[in-house]
Amino acid sequence: MYLFVVNEKAGNGRGRKVWRSVEAELQSRRVAYRAITEADEEKACAQAAELLRRGEVKAVAAIGGDGTLHSLLPLLAGSGVPLGIIPAGSGNDTARAFRIPKRTQDALAVLLNGQARPSDILSASLGSGERRLTLTALAVGFDAAIVRDVNGSRYKRWCNRLGVGSLAYIIGLLRVLTRYQPRQVTVRVDGQQHIFDNVWLSAISNTSSYGGGLRINPGAEPADGLLHVCVVHDCTPWKLLRLFPTILNGSHVRTRVVTVLRGASVEIVSDRPIEAFGDGEPAGETPITAKCVPNQLLFVTASASG
């Protein structure tokens, strides 16, 4: 059977509407399924874990956004059980990275008829000793501050209602720009040290985009065995604002204030603690050590002929 983990509040209630559409189609096709609609994330994961232990689950599908899928990573990493997503969130960067269609029925078709392909996972060790798994990107610095502002805002709900969830991240950028203070940061990639002054952000990516489609590391692929790090440094707030539109197509990587590094292991140390978010969820603060763990997740994408 297929197990659906549904975040009905995702996308300002869009998750509930998407699930109704999906459930109707499943019943029409007589597909065997179970659904977990528990709002409490911890309880929902506990229910999913119990069903997985029984060995009855063919694949797990998240209906929601990147955060919904993020909560399932500890359960599914290394399990051999495929994971899919029906996008219903604000940013939907995971769906974008794995080329999952926005249209609900098309995304469901991929889940039911697609192919499970191996994907890497980003495993981060925090200064507190905690370990966090991330599928898309670990935002450290200015970009993390934007996510915090967006997640706690009213404007995110309005953007979702209008169907322009990505706009919330632009609003968040303008709000955070006036108060964020750049830091000195040391980035070690596979043991090689790089020191940067006036660092705005250090984005560690397993996929090319985050923040609702911003191509922060355009060369990143979820199954290349590497982490890509984009460091934005030595620029004024005005230059950063001018740089932002180029992140939409990835051309920012050709500017002198951007350094891109690649490797299997990344360590970020700062002169003062800097907060981090992984898949749009809080992920502690620096110092952070991140490693690429190859082929730890099976993700359902469109088949070669699809």
Mind listing the pLDDT tens digit for each residue in 59-110?
999 999 888 889 999 999 999 999 999 999 877 889 998 999 999 999 999 9
How does residue 305 score in pLDDT terms, banded at 50, 70 and 90? very low
Percentage of residues in the chain having pLDDT higher than 90: 68
Q: What is the CA radius of gyration of the chain?
A: 19
The number of CA neighbours under 13 Å toward the Cβ of 225 is 1
pLDDT in tens, 129-154: 788 999 999 999 999 998 888 877 87
Residues pairing with 262 in the sheet? 228
Fold of 123-295: Tumour Suppressor Smad4 (2.60.200)
Q: Is 27 exposed, middle or buried (0-12, 13-18, 19+ CB in 10 A)?
A: exposed
Residue 188 has pLDDT above 60, yes or no: yes
Question: Backbone phi, then psi, for 43, in 5-degree steps?
Answer: -70, -40
CA distance 142 to 200: 5
Distance from the Cα of residue 59 to its chain's centroid: 20
Domain with CATH 3.40.50.10330 in the chain: 2-119+297-301
Angle at 270 between CA 235 and CA 192, to 5 degrees: 90
Give the integer Cα–Cα distance in Å for 117 and 137: 19
User: E strands of the chain, at which residues?
Assistant: 2-6, 33-36, 59-64, 83-87, 115-126, 131-134, 137-141, 183-189, 192-205, 227-233, 258-263, 265-270, 275-278, 281-285, 288-301
Q: Give the CATH fold of the 2-119+297-301 domain.
A: Rossmann fold (3.40.50)
Q: What's the mean per-residue pLDDT of the chain?
A: 91
